[in-house]
Each structure stands twice: as C-alpha cells, then as structure tokens.
Structure 1
Amino acid sequence: MTRPAPADTVTLRVPFRLAKRGGRKEMRLPEGIAPPRRPDDALVKALARAFRWKRMLESGEFVTVVELAEREGIAPSYMTRVLRLTLLAPDIVEAILDGKQGPAVTLARLMDGFPEAWEAQRQIWGQAVREYSGLTVDPVVIHSPRIGPRKRAR
C-alpha cells in the first residue's frame, strides 16, 4: 500500500471541547456554530406518557387518576404533574419534539409547574425556543416569574 503524496492530504480542524452531561460525554462546539438538534429523550418520553394517560382517562378506560396511577404502578401525585404537560402550548410541544426547545426548557422545570395560559408560557419559554431554533427574536425583554421548585403547603 502506498501513501498519498502530501499534496493530496487535506487537514480539517474543528475546535470543540468535551463536557460531561447527565453521566455521558457531550461535544461542545464554539460560539456561532449551531449545535445539532436532538430532542431531549426524557422530555419526549414524559410528553408521550402524558398524552397517552390523558387519552386513557378521556376514553373512560379509567375513571380517576388514582385508578390509572395504581395500574401504572406510580404515585398519583407524579402522574398529575406529568399530565400537566398536556397543557403546554402546541408550538412549545412541537419545538420539544423537534429538539428546538433550547436549554431553558427542561423536564425538571416543567414538572415544577408552569402557567396554564399559552400566552404566559410563550412569554416564559417562547424566546428561548425562538433563539435556539434560529428564528428572529423581538428585541423586547420579557420578565418571567420565578421558575423553580414550589414550596409545599403544610
């Protein structure tokens, strides 16, 4: 086997760094380079479960959330938090399924609660979705309410 002459060699350099995320390694690209769009598997799975459970409740297969949760082998409180995902605005659900939701929209943040009104959801997460997907963003600064864990009533 012969080696190609040096004139036939092409060297391509791509700057990146490796970062650990959730127990796995992820390639981080430099600023200005769009990352590949990949849906958040946990978020997509939670959405699928939520819509499946909603369909089961609406069909009359199960009368209460408690009954369905018992059959699924999970806590009713967890099921109700996941079922809330069915209240997300359709464009936000679509962005999640396409992997365009941006780093601000995570399952943990959604499980902590969000407003039911679609316009309020778009004010909180819409700008993150537009920035991440490469759509034009209005220069309006949107102040969102604190997003974090709720305090439990005693």
Structure 2
Amino acid sequence: MTVTSDDDTITVHVPLSFTKRGGRKQIVLPDGASSWAPPRTRVDNTMVKAIARGFRWRKLLETGVHTTIEDIAAAEKISASYVSRVLRLTLLSPSIVEAILDGRQGPDITLAVLMKPFPVEWEKQTF
C-alpha cells in the first residue's frame, strides 16, 4: 500500500486482484501483503450440494432404489456423465470432505477441479 498526499488530496494505492470462487468474487492480496483481518471461512454451497448429491445417489444405488447410473440420470433428468462425475466425489478423502463442509478448502479447490479425475487412494489426493 502506498499513500501520497498533497495539500487537499490523499491518494491510497492498494494492489489487489479479484478472483471467482464458487461463483463469488473474492479480493486477493498480493503475496507478502499482510492482511488486517483473519480470513473468514466461506462454505462453497455449490461444492457442498454436489457432495451431498453424490452421497445420496450412492445410497440409492446401494439400497437398490436405482440399479444403474442411467436410472438415476433418467429420474433426475440429467446426463449419466454428470451423475458419474458427481458420484466420484464420494471417493474423496474424509479430510477433504470435512474441509469443504467447514469452508476450509484452499482457494484452488473448486467444483470444476473436483469434477476432474483424481486418484481414489486418499493419501494421493492432494488439492
């Protein structure tokens, strides 16, 4: 932050950038800049809903309510590809799921990142 002053005007320059996280804009300070307030946790409802949906669909498969991914897709009126990608979220490690539910996930963890293939071994899941 730089402050310049003349007789009547004070100009403050604060370097910052805006990034989208969970559909919301967030102000990001440059590296090394001290923050005057601790970062607040922000639960990404989109990710939470997707994880909850995945676990619900998995339960429907396990209990026999639906027998295939295609059955779920037809019942929900969405594509089978999307259903299988969301179902894959049930393979996330419990620590990652807990961090997402608490809003403690890193800024680089988004639903788009989670929907991409990832290792099923929990110890290899680094986001």
> Which residue in the other structure is 2:34 paired with?
31
Matched, 1:99 2:103: yes
Partner residue of 1:81 out of 78, 85, 107: 85
TM-score (norm 2): 0.75
TM-score (norm 1): 0.62
More strand by share: 2
Q: Could you say what the CA RMSD is over the residues aligned between the two structures, in angstroms?
A: 2.3
Q: 1:18 touches 1:25 (CA, 8 Å); kept in 2?
A: no
Deviation of residue 20 (structure 1)? 6.3
> Which residue in the other structure is 1:119 paired with?
123
Which structure 2 segments of 5+ residues have no match?
1-13
Deviation of residue 16 (structure 1)? 9.7
Which structure 1 segments of 5+ residues have no match?
1-14, 126-154
> Which residue in the other structure is 2:8 paired with?
none
The structure, 1 or 2, with the larger RCO (C-alpha pairs under 8 Å, 6+ apart) is 2
- Other structure's SS at 2:105 match: coil
Q: Does the C-alpha gap of structure 1 residues 105 and 48 become closer, same or farther in structure 2, counting only changes over 3 Å?
A: same
> Which residue in the other structure is 1:108 paired with?
112
Q: How many residues align?
A: 109
